[in-house]
Amino acid sequence: MIVGIIPARFASSRLLGKPLADIGGKPMIQHTYESSLKSKLINEIIIAVDDEKVAKVARNFGAKVVITPKEIMTGSDRIAFVAKTLSSAKIIVNIQGDEPFIQGDMIDQAIEPLLFDKSVNVTTLAKRIETIYELKSPSIPKVVFDYQNNALYFSRSAIPFVRDAKTNFERINNAEIYKHIGLYVYRKDSLLRFTSLEPTDLEKTEKLEQLRMLENGIKIKVVVTEFDNLAIDTPEDLERARIYYNRYIRNNEE
């Protein structure tokens, strides 16, 4: 059984109440939930929340909700808390609650390697960077990976460093630089192992919890997608999401 879990934390440090932020008349968490339902491979979707206000809203639009302790600080630990109670779940999909326009095809692209290759235990997504904003923004992590598409490193800095490029425009055009799209798929035992580990030095430095896996020798298979996504981390991101919704999505829903 493949279960998608959407962690939603009300007390976001950079955008308080983020799951309930309005985008086109719906809370962000509802957009994420409805987008996730378009996956053809997920059998069940659960929203893991730390606040009764978010839980009530989610139940009102028909979602299955699990309340998790407020002391849990990371999305991965929140989904692990829920996953431990799911005896029939073999594969767990961590769908970030702040990615309201995630596409079902993207989710399925990330799931597929675990269905066809038993050696793959964790996957995530990446897309080639196309704008200078994406290159420079520390809220958009970057990833480099080897010839087998196993992640080598994640960073908030622009990696790889393109030594011969004189401008950011040249960096984008002269090298393949990828942004990380924060969707993860785990075999359940790999998720529970990962979340049982203590935070690591690089994780603390970059504030990227996926580095905990790499520092402990857990391979992450990177699936390159042609689909784009918009993660919301700051008030500026939220305003971009509202513009994007009004420009590209609203008309298709009406």
The residue count for the chain: 254
CATH code for the domain in which residue 34 is found = 3.90.550.10
Distance CA 209, CA 190 (A): 14
pLDDT at 85 over 90: yes
Q: 70 falls in which pLDDT band (50, 70, 90)? A: confident
Determine the 3-state secondary structure of 106 from DSSP: helix
Give residue-wise pLDDT tens across range 122-171.
999 999 999 999 999 998 999 999 999 999 999 999 999 999 999 999 99
Q: For a pLDDT cut of 70, what percent of the chain falls above it?
A: 96
Percent of the chain with pLDDT over 90: 81
Residue 61 reports pLDDT greater than 80 = yes
The Cα-based distances of 230 to 36, 118, 139, 146, 182 in angstroms read 14, 31, 11, 25, 10
Q: Which residues of 86-121 are buried (b: 16+ CB within 10 A; e: fewer)?
A: beebebbbbbbbbbbbbbbebbbbbbebbeeeeebb
Residues 6+ away with beta carbon under 8 Å from 35: 100, 101, 102, 103, 104
The separation between the first and the last C-alpha atoms of the chain, rounded to the nearest angstrom, is 33
Domain range enclosing 162: 2-253
| pLDDT value at residue 160 | 95
How is residue 38 written in tokens? 């378009």
Name the strand (E) or helix (H) holding 60: helix 52-60
Compute the distance between CA of residue 223 and CA of residue 242 in angstroms, rounded to an integer.
Answer: 28
Largest CA distance in the chain: 54
* Averaged pLDDT for residues 84-99: 94
pLDDT value at 13 more than 60: no
DSSP line for 150-200 = BEEEEESS-SS--TT-SSHHHHHHHS--EEEEEEEEEEHHHHHHHHHSPP-
9 band by pLDDT with thresholds 50, 70 and 90: confident
Which whole number is the average pLDDT over 193-208?
96
Domains: count for the chain = 1
